[in-house]
Amino acid sequence: MRTFLLLLLTTLLLSACASSEKNSNRDMDIQNLVSLNPPGDQNVEESTIYVDSVQAITYENRRALLISGSFPDACTHLASATDSLVQGSVHITLEAWRETDQMCAQVLTSYSYIHSGISADVLSEISSVTINEHTYPIK
C-alpha cells in the first residue's frame, strides 16, 4: 500500500510539473498583456512608449519576444509593431496612440506585448534587439 501511495504521489507531482511547464507563458500568466489596437476613425495623436525589458519566450509552441514596459498614461494603446533584419540585427518599431481630446491621468501604466514575427532561427542567433532606435539585451 505504501509503495502504491508513493507511486501515485510521484505521478501526480510529475504531471503537475509537466503541466505548469507546458503552459508557463499562457495569456493569463503574463501580467499586463496587450495586443495591437490600431486606432479607428477617432481623432488620435501619437504617443510615447517606454521599454523596460525584452525576453525570449516560447509562446503557443513558437519562439517569440516578450517586450515589457510602460505607457505614459492609461489612455495609450499599442497601434502597430513591425520588424526588419538590418545587417544581422533585428529592428522593431512599436507605435502607440491616444485620443487627442481625452483627459487622462499622467501615470505610468505597465504593459507586456508578445512579438512573434521573428523566425526562431534568427532569435537563436541574436543577443539584443533594437526597438524604436534603442538597443536592449534579450534575456
Classify residue 34: in a domain, yes or no.
yes
- Spatial contact of 57 and 114, defined as CB atoms under 8 Å apart: yes
Q: How far apart are CA 108 and CA 131, in angstroms?
A: 19
Q: What's the pLDDT score for residue 1?
A: 53
Cell reading at 121: 532561427
- Spatial contact of 73 and 62, defined as CB atoms under 8 Å apart: no
Rounded average pLDDT over 23-45: 79
Classify residue 66: in a domain, yes or no.
yes
Q: In whole angstroms, how far apart are CA 120 and each of 19, 64, 105?
A: 23, 8, 39
Higher pLDDT, 11 or 73: 73
Question: What range defines the domain where residue 44 resides?
Answer: 25-137
In this prediction the pTM is 0.77
Please, which residues have CB within 8 angstroms of residue 34's CB and are 6 or more apart in sequence?
Answer: 77, 78, 111, 112, 113
pLDDT in tens, 73-116: 999 999 999 999 988 889 999 999 999 988 988 899 999 999 99
Q: How far apart are CA 98 and CA 46, in angstroms?
A: 7
Classify residue 81: in a domain, yes or no.
yes
Q: What's the pLDDT score for residue 42?
A: 80
Classify residue 72: in a domain, yes or no.
yes
- Spatial contact of 131 and 118, defined as CB atoms under 8 Å apart: no
Classify residue 87: in a domain, yes or no.
yes
Rounded average pLDDT over 15-33: 57
Q: How far apart are CA 43 and CA 111, in angstroms?
A: 23
Q: What is the CA radius of gyration of the chain?
A: 20
Cell reading at 10: 510521484
Q: What's the domain count of the chain? A: 1
Classify residue 1: in a domain, yes or no.
no
Classify residue 15: in a domain, yes or no.
no
